[in-house]
Each structure stands twice: as C-alpha cells, then as structure tokens.
Structure 1
C-alpha cells in the first residue's frame, strides 16, 4: 500500500520524529511505498531521503497518491486531508499537552489512536470522544537496536540521564547530587544538555540506572537498565515488576510524575534498585513493546480503514471548518506570546512558517 505519514518536523532525532523514521523504514522493508509530509526538514529528513524515502514540505512534490494517511499533528493532518480529499486517515496523538496534538476531526478520519491512556484522556475528557472510538497503540522498542545486555550489576555503579529536556537549569543538578551521595557515577545525553547522542543503543548497555521517560525509558529498559521515570515536570519513580503495567498504560510519561524530584526523593527511588526485578521488567517490556508486532498492528489498522473507506464508511466526528479556525487561532495566540519573548525567536519563526505553508 501507499502510506503517507505526516509529522510537524522531520528534523532532529526526537520524539515522534524518531517514531516516524523507524516506522517508515520498516514499512518500506515490508514492501510498502512510504512518503512523509512535514513542515520542517533537517538532518533526519536528509537521512531518510538517502534511504530512498521521499520527505517533503510541499504536498505537490509527493510522488504518489496515498492509500492511507498516518497523521501526526493537527496542522499537518489538516493540510494533507485538504490536499488528498479522497484518502482515509488514521490520526495519532503522542502528547497530552502539545498544541499540535490537539485532536483534529474530519469525516475522512476513521480511526483515532492514542499512544497511551493519558493521550486517550485528551480525546475523551477534553474533547468529548466516546471511549470506544479511541484505541491505544503503545510505544515500541526496536530490539534489533536496543539489545538486552548479558550481565546486570547487583548494585548500580553508573547512571545515565537520557532526555532531550533535562539539563543544569532544571532537575539534572538534583540527580547529580542524589547519585553522588550514593556513590553512583552519572552522565547525561540529549539536546537540551548539548550532549547529543544519535545512536543511544550503542551506549545504553554501559549503564545500570537510567533517568528517562516515554520512548527513551522503554528503550533503556529493553537493554537491562533500571529506569526511574522523571522529567522537568516531576518524578514518577522506579519502574518495578509491580507497577510496570500501570506505567506502560501511561507511556512512562507525565501522568505518572506526581512527586517532586528533590535530592531526597531521588535517593529513595535509586535505593529501590533490585537487579532481579530489573530483569523481570526488561523481559516484560521486550515482550509487550516489540517493534515488529506494533508495526503489524498498524498494518492491520491501515488495511481495515482502507476497506471501510471504500465501503463508504466515514468518520462520525466531523467539524472541519471550526477545527480549522481553532487550530490557526491557537497558533496565532502562541505566536503572540512567543513574540514577547525574544529568547524564543527560533520557535516563533517556525510557528510563523507553519502559518504560511
């Protein structure tokens, strides 16, 4: 099948951008034709183009008419649906608060998908979707990249902060203090800290303990690291065999971060390290979040939606004009706020660019 994936940016190796990269490559490996529409291109776009996958910020430069649109982000979904008026859509939400993850509704969208129950609440609690109309497709881990290490230390010796958001200006100092007090060496990778690592799978097995959230947390667990869920939003705590199902339901993310990441609270979580329990968590995540199984699940969704659309089935949620106004109104409001803060000039320019596309 011909698959068009939309994402607001295919520029850096973060969040949904990495998700799109892995999905696109695997779909091509399975014989599908894949193209990507985005509003911002960069290094990741170049990498995918070199692999033969067409990535463009101009819908007129797409080479194929898609059989299905896998849509991330309302602004790119809106543009793609307006351009391909007779193509069915599966719409995904990966974030509870991001403005561009606000649900976009249209008669061509036959499936609404959330990456966890927190995002499902955005559909149902905030936007009046019925529970049965939103399905969960969990985040995955590619075990061809993130492999379980052979030996797991009985006590943590090295820790890694694996986050694009943490740095010396938020909670990294508290993490360093907690680790220092317990004699654990700690390092950090991610965009915000300036220590970018494009192939984390090559270094994760060096660490016993990882501070991370969402997909990064899943990848760390798959390598045999004990994971403490945390971010600048708060502290979720150590993932254990007793809470791992609940933590996965909420994508090891913000919904779980109910504690304050003080040094003392972090020490409490680090002291929960149990190498036997870590093995159980790793085995669980490898089995339940298998990349190939999730892609197969997506293929089934695509096929079902294509068939339903051909049978004249249309989405029950349909208010494109008002949604169009809402989305652009939100962008304009954010532009106004950002314009007052000169330190956000780059983001301001990007949002302004979105309006023009």
Structure 2
C-alpha cells in the first residue's frame, strides 16, 4: 500500500522524529511505497533518503495519492487531509499536553492510536469516543539495532545513567545524585540539559547497571538489559520487574501523581535496589525484545491501516465542515497561546527588573572592588601574563609581523586601562571579541573560515605560528601569501570603516 507519514520536523534523532524515521524505513522494507510530509525537514531526511524514502516539505509535491495517511502532529496532519480529501487517516498521538500533538476531530481520521492504555482511555474521554476506539501500539525497539544486551551481574550495581530526560531540573538531579552516592553508585547524565547529547543508546546503555528513564527511553534501556527505574521530576517509580511490568506498561513507564510513585531520596532508592535481581532483569529484557519489537509494531499498524481503509469514504461536504471546525479550534488555541506568551514575557520582565534592582548595589560594589584590584596589580600582572606566553610562540608571532602592539593599543584603549600585555590580551580575549591584531589581518573572517578555532579557544595567530613550527616554514609562507593578496582590500575596508 501507499503510506504517507506526517511529521512537524525532522531535525533531531529522538522523539517522534526518530519514530517516524524508523517506521518509514520498516514499512519500506516490507514492500510498501512510503513518503513523509514534513514542513521543516532536517538531518533525518538524509537517513530516510539513503533508505529510498522521500521527504516533501510541500504537500503538493507528493507525486501519488496515498492509500492511508499515518499522521503525527495536528497541523501537518490537517495540511495532508486538506490536500488528499479522499484518503483515510490514522492519527497517532504520543501525548495530549504538547499543543502540536492535540488530536484533530476530522471525518477523514478513521481511527486513533497511542502508546499506552492510560493515554488511550484519556483520549477516548477527551474526544468523546467509545471505549476501545483508540488503538494501543506500545513504544517499540529494533532488536537488530539494539543487538548488544548486557548480562546483569550479581552484587550491588555500580553505574547508573539518567537517560532521555531533556528537562530534568538541576535540584532534582542533585537529589538523585546524592541518593546514588549514598549507595556507592556513580550517576551520569546522557541527553540531559546538563549532560552530553548522544544519539546511539544502543552503544552506551549496556554499560550501565541501572537506567533512570521513561517512555521509549525506558523500553530501550530494558532491551539492553539495564535495571530500569522510571522517574520524572519530584516522582520516583519502581524498578521494572516481571511482576509489575504490565502495570508500568499501562502508563508508558512514567510515574504519575496518585500512583505508585515516591519522592526522589535515599529511602526510595534503597527500596528499589532491594528489588535488584539480575535473573529477573534478564527476563524483562527478553520480554521487551520479543513483545516490543519494531516488527510487531509495524504489523499492528498495517492491521490498523487496513481497518481505516475499509471504512466508508467521506462526503466532500463532511470533509469541508470538519476542516472548518478544526480551523476554528486552531484560531482559539493560537490566540490563547499568544496571550500566554505575552503573560510569560511580562512576568519575566517583572521578575528580571526586581532581581536587577535588588542586586544592583552589590554588583556596583563588586565592580568597584574589581577596578581597585586591577589598579593594584597593574604592572605586576603585565609582567606575569607576558611570562606565561611560551617564548617560541611569542617570537614566532612577532617575527610574522601579523601583530602590531602599538596599533592594537591605539585601536583598543580599554586594553591600556587593563594593564595587560597587548599580545597576551589578543590571544586570550581579543581574538574572540572581534578585535584585529593589526591593520593587515581580518581576525573575524579567519574565524568564520575556521569555526573550530573558536570552540577550541585557539586564536588565528596561534594557529598559524604553531602550524609553522610543526609543519615547517612553508605552512606560514603559504598563509602569508594568501594574506598578502588580500591586504590592499583589507586596508581599504578598514579605511572606510574608520572614515564612517
């Protein structure tokens, strides 16, 4: 069959973006003709293209009439429905709270699907559907991709990871870190707002004894053989076992208020570690890999597609009326979002003003002390800073003629007041503040051509002279030839800026 998936963006390898990519590729491998409509394409489109799945950012560019629309996200779904007015739709919802996820009520949407029974029941009530009208297709994992499965070891766990929590507040992280430290466990954060972002969980998850995660991330962790404990800010769940697996799957492995959840502290973690059983962790891994595989998910979606396609076609007037109702709802939602944004900005400004007023006196005093300290160290700081610069590097820069101390001080009077060696100031600060070392060198243009230098905090002159010292004089001569051919134009530009 011809399947069109909709997705609001394809820029990051997580969330529904990753789900869309994996489903599209799996459907393609099963012989279906697949395309993705996404108004904001990104890096994931390359992965799709390499698997012969085309992505379109304009719905009118899709070259064929789909048999079914597998829709994620409200707005791109409505765009697809308004263009393919005779095509049935299966709308898949991964959460009701995010505004883009809210399911549309449209006659072409023949059925709905989601990842847990808890969310399916909530959707049925919200949309006024009959019980069972929302299908459940649990979060899935690709056993081939996640081929490495750790063997849980006897004894106390030593390493843990907070995985997939992109907005976990730092105070809550500190609570979790302290609880782990009290039990001799080292906690790391991956794909967290204060940790590294890595998109290959199949490679690093098997290295951890315990994984704190929810939803799809929890499923991936269990498939790798990790002891998995669902947590959200302020709420800690239970270690997933064979006994409580179904209960936690019912709520997508995510703690909820008024359910089996506790505060994140040492007592809570002690209770969970008491359930740590390597043999049972292995059984949970086998269960997830067997029952939550991507093959099972695709087979289930194919069944849902066929059911949607078997439904009677919509009357064009019904389609038009359905679209009108959805546009009316969007108008209300957009206006509420606008007002909410204005209120948030006003609150931020009010809070910021109060904070600034409260701390202005203290900041002024700190500034006065800072200036007094600079004046006190004066020439001693100049001598100390100059001595910290390696002599061969200094001599090489001076011989190159690319740094002019008098010109640098004349054009940067604040450096004079800082009582700092001008060359050292350029290397440490000026190169990254848009300051040129001489009238013959465009510092900013060099950094734009070599952006990695800004990240490494290596100034252009250091890069040039160190390259000369490592690779020989030919390296610097080559660069001097390039720079000399741009000198006359550079001088003209500087003259114009000075005149202006």
TM over 0.5: yes
Show the counterpart of 1:354: none
TM-score between the two structures when normalised by the length of structure 1:
0.87
Structure 2: which 5+ runs fail to align? 347-500
Residues 255-294 of structure 1 aligned to structure 2 (within 5 Å):
255=256, 258-294=261-297
Show the counterpart of 2:340: 337
Instruction: Quote the offset at 1:21 in angstroms.
Output: 0.9
Aligned equivalents of 1:130, 1:294: Cα separation in 2 = 23
What secondary structure is seen at the aligned counterpart in 1 of 2:338? Answer: helix
Aligned equivalents of 2:103, 2:20: Cα separation in 1 = 19
Show the counterpart of 2:98: 98
The 1:257–1:188 alpha-carbon spacing in structure 2 relative to 1, beyond 3 Å, is farther
What secondary structure is seen at the aligned counterpart in 1 of 2:289? Answer: helix
What secondary structure is seen at the aligned counterpart in 2 of 1:160? Answer: strand
The 1:341–1:13 alpha-carbon spacing in structure 2 relative to 1, beyond 3 Å, is farther
| Contact kept in structure 1, 2:150 and 2:226, CA below 8 Å | no
Show the counterpart of 2:220: 219
Higher relative helix content: 2
What secondary structure is seen at the aligned counterpart in 2 of 1:171? Answer: helix
Aligned equivalents of 1:263, 1:60: Cα separation in 2 = 57
What secondary structure is seen at the aligned counterpart in 1 of 2:37? Answer: strand
Aligned equivalents of 1:251, 1:61: Cα separation in 2 = 36
Instruction: Quote the offset at 1:339 in angstroms.
Output: 4.6
Aligned equivalents of 2:127, 2:255: Cα separation in 1 = 19
Residues 227-238 of structure 1 aligned to structure 2 (within 5 Å):
227-232=228-233, 234-238=235-239
Matched, 1:304 2:298: no
Instruction: Quote the offset at 1:263 in angstroms.
Output: 4.3
My pick for the range that moved more, 75-84 or 232-241, is: 232-241
The 1:89–1:15 alpha-carbon spacing in structure 2 relative to 1, beyond 3 Å, is same
My pick for the range that moved more, 216-225 or 260-269, is: 260-269
Matched, 1:12 2:15: no
Higher relative strand content: 1
What secondary structure is seen at the aligned counterpart in 2 of 1:324? Answer: helix
My pick for the range that moved more, 198-207 or 320-329, is: 320-329
Aligned equivalents of 2:89, 2:169: Cα separation in 1 = 41
What secondary structure is seen at the aligned counterpart in 1 of 2:110? Answer: strand
Aligned equivalents of 2:80, 2:35: Cα separation in 1 = 12
Aligned equivalents of 2:60, 2:285: Cα separation in 1 = 45
Aligned equivalents of 1:191, 1:66: Cα separation in 2 = 38
Aligned equivalents of 2:72, 2:205: Cα separation in 1 = 28
The 1:339–1:189 alpha-carbon spacing in structure 2 relative to 1, beyond 3 Å, is farther
The 1:188–1:229 alpha-carbon spacing in structure 2 relative to 1, beyond 3 Å, is same
Instruction: Quote the offset at 1:116 in angstroms.
Output: 0.8
Instruction: Quote the offset at 1:206 in angstroms.
Output: 0.7
What secondary structure is seen at the aligned counterpart in 1 of 2:178? Answer: helix
Aligned equivalents of 1:260, 1:330: Cα separation in 2 = 34
Show the counterpart of 1:131: 131
State how many pairs are aligned.
Answer: 341
| Contact kept in structure 1, 2:93 and 2:113, CA below 8 Å | yes
TM-score between the two structures when normalised by the length of structure 2:
0.63
Deviations 1:12-36 (A, max 9, x none): 1221111111101111111212111
The 1:249–1:2 alpha-carbon spacing in structure 2 relative to 1, beyond 3 Å, is same
My pick for the range that moved more, 19-28 or 4-13, is: 4-13
Structure 1: which 5+ runs fail to align? 344-357
Deviations 1:228-270 (A, max 9, x none): 0012262222111111011112211254674332344234323
Aligned equivalents of 2:52, 2:142: Cα separation in 1 = 21
Aligned equivalents of 2:226, 2:79: Cα separation in 1 = 41
- Greater RCO (Cα-Cα under 8 Å, separation 6 or more): 1
| Contact kept in structure 2, 1:179 and 1:267, CA below 8 Å | no
Show the counterpart of 1:348: none
| Contact kept in structure 1, 2:229 and 2:240, CA below 8 Å | yes
Instruction: Quote the offset at 1:320 in angstroms.
Output: 3.9
| Contact kept in structure 1, 2:151 and 2:282, CA below 8 Å | no
What secondary structure is seen at the aligned counterpart in 2 of 1:141? Answer: coil
Show the counterpart of 2:157: 156
Aligned equivalents of 1:162, 1:150: Cα separation in 2 = 17
Aligned equivalents of 1:32, 1:233: Cα separation in 2 = 44
What secondary structure is seen at the aligned counterpart in 2 of 1:131? Answer: coil
RMSD, aligned CA: 2.6
Aligned equivalents of 1:200, 1:184: Cα separation in 2 = 20
The 1:170–1:90 alpha-carbon spacing in structure 2 relative to 1, beyond 3 Å, is farther
